Chains A and B, each alone.
Chain A
Amino acid sequence: MKHKDNGGVTFFLNSTKNIFSVFFSLGKRAKKTKAFYLISFIPVVMALVIKFGQILSERSDIGGIYIFTNIIMAFYLQFLILILALFFGTSVCSEELEGKTLTYLTTRPISKSAIILGKYTSYTALAILMTAAGVVCSFLILNVNSLLDFSLYKILLRDLAVLSLGLICYTAFFTFIGTFLKRSIMFGLMFSFGWENVIQYFPGTTQRFAIVHYLKSLLPSTSGGRFSFLLFRLEPSSPGTAIAMLFLITGVFLAFACLLFSLKEYILED
């Protein structure tokens, strides 16, 4: 019964696909997923409150798309995708160690890299779906009066693409951190709300050391208003460079995560 093609690309891709399918369906049922679904719907509640407020006060001096853009910048980009990526990314490895279930995966005829990549893709897909659900609902609520204006859908698609790229990149980074560090959540929180929130405002090339810099470079710079401080001193990279950098960061950290997971010895403590 020994598998013959255990070194080939097809074998590796099939292993990754099998791990993806197992953990995507397991992830859907997980308690943490349900909790994050609730969090990702906070902006939907905010959008409903704002919209009802506008209807009741009969005022609509602030456009729906303006509020939507600010929700994307303030809530999704700087908070939700970081939290989702942190908890899903670090759990790729740490949940197997903490739950002592790693043995069930490492005693199967699949490579350790396939375990990491399969779990990473399944959790990233879940996080993207979760984010997209909240974003689309918020968009529809806030723009309920102009749903036939198709130019607005371009903004929605662009924002969804940027948030997905952010999730892909951050989850890869946190997957690596999860394979590397025991207390990965603590480090992740410091990185997300310390490093990422501070470095992006540094002038010159320093801000390029933050992932969020590349994400913001893909969004148009909004001007003025109460949220202008969020764009303080942003010196955007070109869209091409930003996309290339995001994929490069993703690739590098995933490669490191796979390598480390294959070489490192994990002891399941009693």
Chain B
Amino acid sequence: MTAVIETQNLSKWYRNVLGLSDVTLKIESGITGILGPNGAGKSTFLKLITGQIKPNIGNVTVKGEKIRNNYSLFSIIGFCPEQDSFYEEMTGWQFITSLLKLYFFSTFEIETKAQKALEIVELIKDKDRVIRSYSRGMRQRLKFAQAIAHEPEIFILDEPLNGLDPLGRRKIIRLIKTYKSEGKTIIVSSHVLPEIEAMTKKIILIHQGKIFAQGDIHYIRDLIEAHPHIISIKCSNPRELASRFIREDYVLKVHFGPTQDGLLVETNNRDKFFSLLPSLFVESNIQVEEITSPDDNLQAVFDYLIGK
């Protein structure tokens, strides 16, 4: 399979801050997930491959052509930026049709495509409201709509699921998968592993501006599985719950919090822990107030993987 996007020794720094270092990649059609904690260099990478910023070293080609200042390539690229910014005084409809105008479509095509995009993201009823009055989720969906409205071949989506409710996330994920089945190329960034996992098996891990790992999600999953997780549970009877936990082989440690209304459980098998948790609560007749995972984020995983 030929590469749609190719980078060679791509490096970028902002004054003395490293943004990206020596990234050489070939991205083929299908969905590629770019995963990394906040500030890892994901957005810098996406801005470089869309030619918005120029690399200090290296180069980027999209379909064999250099991207920087190659405006015609943007006819086939749909970019969804991370930042939550809009022309606030426009309505959703005006925003989409205005941007479609810049592709030289006829008025009929503009209206048809805008209608279709807004229907896909379920904003058609709110199309005449000014963007300023949109909720966070609506704004995110509108941002997604502008990236898909001109029906591009390549989608570059920077944290597209941010701010969406679970239902909205599921719909966007399903849509992204549909584009994959149509043979399109989709690059999605996220700092949340399950989000990427729900879309693709092909992932690139970025950390501190470097490609940390690349390949099948199972490899990354295996690394993460070995990472001990701490889960905090607030419940009606923490001591009773603790006595149940210590019988399980996947539980490594149990601590009681200072307030005595909860406990911290350390496990080396996060998935098994969460799958058995509901039955444990039911059997012991314990009422749960809150379950949180203080280190359930990529930063913790990366820190663990690099041996911090």
State whether A103 touches B81 (Cβ < 8 A): yes
A107-B98 in contact given A6-B72, A270-B83 (Cβ < 8 Å):
no
| A and B contact pairs by CB, cutoff 8 A, 5 listed | A2-B75, A6-B71, A100-B83, A103-B81, A109-B104
State whether B83 touches A268 (Cβ < 8 A): yes
Q: How far is the CB of B65 from chain A (nearest CB, A)?
A: 10
A38 interfacial by beta-carbon distance below 8 Å:
no
The stretch among A25-33, A120-128, A161-169, A210-218 that forms the contact with chain B is: A25-33
Q: How far is the CB of B210 from chain A (nearest CB, A)?
A: 20
A22 to B73, CA, bound (A): 22
State whether B52 touches A107 (Cβ < 8 A): yes
Q: How far is the CB of A119 from chain B (nearest CB, A)?
A: 12
A108 to B72, CA, bound (A): 8
A29 to B95, CA, bound (A): 13
Please give the residue numbers on chain B whose beta carbons come within 8 Å of chain A beta carbons, in ascending order. Answer: 14, 50, 52-54, 69, 71-77, 79, 81, 83, 85-90, 94, 98-99, 101-104, 146, 150-153
Q: Chain A residues near B52: list those with CB within 8 A.
A: 103, 106-107
A51 to B89, CA, bound (A): 38
State whether A111 touches B72 (Cβ < 8 A): no
A29 to B91, CA, bound (A): 11
State which of A26, A31, A108 has its C-beta within 8 Å of the C-beta of B90.
A26
A204 interfacial by beta-carbon distance below 8 Å:
no
State whether A22 touches B79 (Cβ < 8 A): no
- Binary CB contact string for chain A from 77 to 99 against chain B (1 if under 8 A, 0 otherwise): 00000000000000000000001
Q: Chain B residues near A267: list those with CB within 8 A.
A: 14, 53
Q: What are the 9 A-B residue pairs with the smallest beta carbon separation, nearest first?
A: A100-B85, A6-B72, A108-B102, A107-B79, A109-B74, A22-B98, A103-B81, A109-B75, A100-B83
Please give the residue numbers on chain A whose beta carbons come within 8 Å of chain B beta carbons, in ascending order. Answer: 1-4, 6, 14-15, 18-19, 21-22, 25-26, 29-31, 99-101, 103-112, 262, 265, 267-268, 270
A104 to B88, CA, bound (A): 13
Q: Chain A residues near B88: list those with CB within 8 A.
A: 99
Chain A minimum-CB-distance residue to B98? A22
Q: Chain B residues near A31: list those with CB within 8 A.
A: 89
State whether B85 touches A101 (Cβ < 8 A): yes
A101-B53 in contact given A2-B73, A6-B72, A110-B102 (Cβ < 8 Å):
no
Q: Chain A residues near B151: list those with CB within 8 A.
A: 1
A18-B74 in contact given A100-B83, A267-B53 (Cβ < 8 Å):
no
A111-B89 in contact given A18-B102, A22-B98 (Cβ < 8 Å):
no
State whether A19 touches B71 (Cβ < 8 A): no
Q: How far is the CB of A88 from chain B (nearest CB, A)?
A: 15
Chain A minimum-CB-distance residue to B69? A262
A267 to B17, CA, bound (A): 13
A1-B75 in contact given A103-B52, A106-B52 (Cβ < 8 Å):
yes
Q: Chain A residues near B71: list those with CB within 8 A.
A: 6, 108-111
Q: Chain B residues near A270: list those with CB within 8 A.
A: 83
